[in-house]
A and B are shown apart, each in its own frame.
Chain A
Amino acid sequence: MFSIVWEMMSKGMDSFSLDFITGLPERSGREGGILPILVSTFLVVLLALAWVFPPALGCALFLSDYRNSSRPLQLVRRVVSVALDGLTAVPSIVFGIIGNAIFCRFFGFGYSILAGALTLGFMIWPYMTRAFEETFASVPKDIYLQSLSLGFSSYTYFRKIIFVPCLPGMVLGIVLALSRALAETSALLFTSGYSDRMPESLLDSGRVLSIHILDLAMNVTGGDQNSYASGLVLVAFLLILNSIFSGAFVFCKRFLK
C-alpha cells in the first residue's frame, strides 16, 4: 500500500527536477509559459461553477426539503435524484460529443470557452448538489423542527438560520466541484478546443490545463518537460486550495470555542 504511494512520490520527484518557471506567455508548445492556458482554464471553470451554482443549490434544497411531502412532489424528488445519478453516470467523452453537438453546432458557439463552460457545468452539477445535500442533512434536526413549528417560511429558514452555518459545507461542495472540473479532459477537448492563445472573448477557443498536459506529453515532440511542469502547477493549485479551506475550517472551529 505504501509502496504505491512511494512510487507516486518518486514520479513526482521526477517532475520536480524538470520544473520550469511557468506563467510567462507561451511561445511554442515546448517553451515559454502557460499563461493563456491558465486564463482559459480559469474562465472555463469559473463560468461553469458560476452558472451551475444556482441550479445545484436549488436541487439540493429541493431534495432535502421535508416540508412539502405531498405524493407527487415526493415522486418528482425521486426522479430528480435519479436524474442526478444519470448526470454522474454519463462518461466524459459522451458529454464532450453531446456538448459539441448542442453548444458548438446547434447553438453555433463553435469551439469556445462558453461551450466548454456550459458542458462542464452539467458534469459537475451532481457533485455540487450531493455535497450541498450532505451539508443540509447535517443540520441538527431540532433546528429544522423548531423553525417549522414557529411557522418560518422555507426561505426565511434558509436565509436567516442555516445559510451561514452551512456555508463551510457549501464551500466544500464548490471546492469538490472545482477539483472535478479541473481534472476534466476529454469533454473539454471537444467543446472548448485546442487553441493555446490568450482568449479575448468567451466565444474564443481555449484549451484547459489538463488538455495542455495531455497534448504536451502525447503530441508535441519534446514537450515532456513542460507537461510535467504543467501537471505540477495543477496539483500545486489543488493542494493550496485544499490547504486554504481546511485551514479556514480549523480556524472557524477554533473561533467557535
Chain B
Amino acid sequence: MIFNAYKIASGIFAILAIAVILCLLLVESFKALSVVPLSKFVTGSWSPSSGDYNLLPMAVGGLAASLGAIFLVAPISIFSALAMNGLIPRAIRLVVRKLFEMMSGIPSVIFGLWGLGYLVPFISRMAPPGASLLAASLVLSLMVLPSAILLVAQAIDDVPREHMEASLALAMSLYNRIRVVILPFTWTRIFSILCLQFARTLGETMAVVMVAGNIPAFPTSVFDPIRTLTGHIALEMPYAEGLHRSSLMLSGLMLCLPSLVLFYLARRFLERVRSI
C-alpha cells in the first residue's frame, strides 16, 4: 500500500516540478509578452535600451549551430558505428569504445577551451574572425559524437544475430547487408538517438559562448559569428532587469518547448522499437 503510494507520489512530484518551472517561466515572461508587441520579437535588432527585443537572430543562430552539428554527427556516427561493428579488429574495438566512453564524460567547458585555443585560430586563418557558426557546430558535434557513436553501435549490435549470420552466410556485400539487414532494424532507433543529441546541443551554453562569436545577427555564411539563445541568456541575464529580464525568460521558455518535443519524439520512437 505504502509502496504504491510512494510510487505515485514520486510521479506526481515530477509533474509538479516541471509544472512549477514552466509556470515560473511563464510568469516571468508575462511582462514582456504583455508589453512588447509580438512583432518586436522577430524584427528589428536586439537593443533592450531602445526597446528592441528581436530574438530571431539568436534563435536562428542556435538552430543553425545545432543543425550543423547533427549534419556532421549523423553520417560520422553511423559510419563509425558500422566500422566498430565490422571493420575494426576486436582488440582495438575495446580500446576505441573505452576512448569514446571517456570522451562522452568530458565536461563541456573543456571542449569550449579546446575550441577557443585551437579550432578558432585554425578557422580564422581561412576566414576571419574564426569564432563562427562553423566553430560552434564543430564543437557541438564533438561533444555529442562519442555518445552518439556508442549508442548507434549498440543499436547495430542489437540486430538479432540470426539475421547477421544469415547475411554473412549468403555472402552479401557490406552495402547490401547494411541496406537489407541493419537499416530496417535500426533506423527508428538511430533517428531517436539523433533527436536526443540534437536536443542536447540546443541546451549547450558554455562551450558555445566561447567559440561562436556572440554577435546578435543573422549568419550569412558558416564563417559568420552567431549568438545562440542559450549564450544570449548566459551573457545578458546577470545584469538584466525588468522588461529586459522578462524577454530573456521568454527566450528561455522558447528553448524548453522544442527540446521537450524532441525528447518526446525520441522516446516514442524508442518505445515503438521495443514493442516490436
Contacts and interface: CB of A to CB of B under 8 A. Distances in A.
B184 interface: no
Given A5-B99, A179-B105, A185-B109, A94 B252 contact: yes
B264 A91 contact: no
Interface stretch (B1-9, B31-39, B175-183): B1-9
Contacts of B233: 91, 93-94, 97
Nearest to A122: B17
A166 B136 CA distance: 40
B101 A242 contact: yes
Contacts of A7: 118
B7 A65 contact: yes
Contacts of B10: 54-59, 61-62
Interface residues of B, number: 61
Contacts of B7: 58-59, 61-62, 65
- Name the interface size band of chain A: 35 or more
B103 interface: yes
Contact of A87 (B17, B113, B202): B17
Given A5-B99, A94-B255, A235-B102, A214 B109 contact: yes
A205 B215 CA distance: 33
B203 interface: yes
B105 A185 contact: no
A7 B115 CA distance: 11
Interface string B258-275: 011011100100000010
Contacts of A95: 21
Interface string A66-91: 00100001001101111111111111
B9 A58 contact: yes
B contacts with A: majority SS: helix
A59 B151 CA distance: 24
B172 interface: no
Nearest to B149: A1
A11 B114 contact: yes
A83 B256 contact: no
A192 B257 CA distance: 27
A58 B14 CA distance: 10
Contacts of A4: 142, 145
Given A8-B114, A97-B237, A125 B145 contact: no
Contacts of A210: 107, 109
A214 B112 CA distance: 9
B267 A85 contact: yes
Contact of B267 (A81, A155, A217): A81
A234 B3 contact: no
A28 interface: no
Contact of B259 (A11, A65, A91): A91
A76 B8 contact: yes
Given A94-B25, A94-B256, A217 B109 contact: yes
Nearest to A89: B259
B41 to A, nearest CB: 18
A119 to B, nearest CB: 11
A234 B7 CA distance: 35
B202 A91 contact: yes
A58 B6 contact: yes
B80 interface: yes
B205 A92 contact: yes
Contacts of B9: 58
Interface string B223-238: 0000000100110010
B107 A231 contact: yes
B109 A93 contact: no
A58 B9 CA distance: 8
A231 B102 CA distance: 13
Given A186-B234, A234-B107, A242 B102 contact: yes
25 contacts: A8-B103, A56-B10, A59-B13, A63-B11, A81-B267, A83-B14, A83-B17, A84-B14, A88-B259, A89-B263, A90-B203, A92-B203, A97-B237, A98-B24, A122-B17, A125-B17, A153-B3, A182-B105, A183-B105, A186-B206, A214-B206, A235-B102, A238-B102, A238-B105, A239-B102
Interface of A: 1, 4-5, 7-8, 11, 54-59, 61-63, 65, 68, 73, 76-77, 79-95, 97-98, 101-102, 122, 125, 129, 137, 153-155, 158, 179, 182-183, 185-186, 210, 213-214, 217-218, 227, 231, 234-235, 238-239, 242
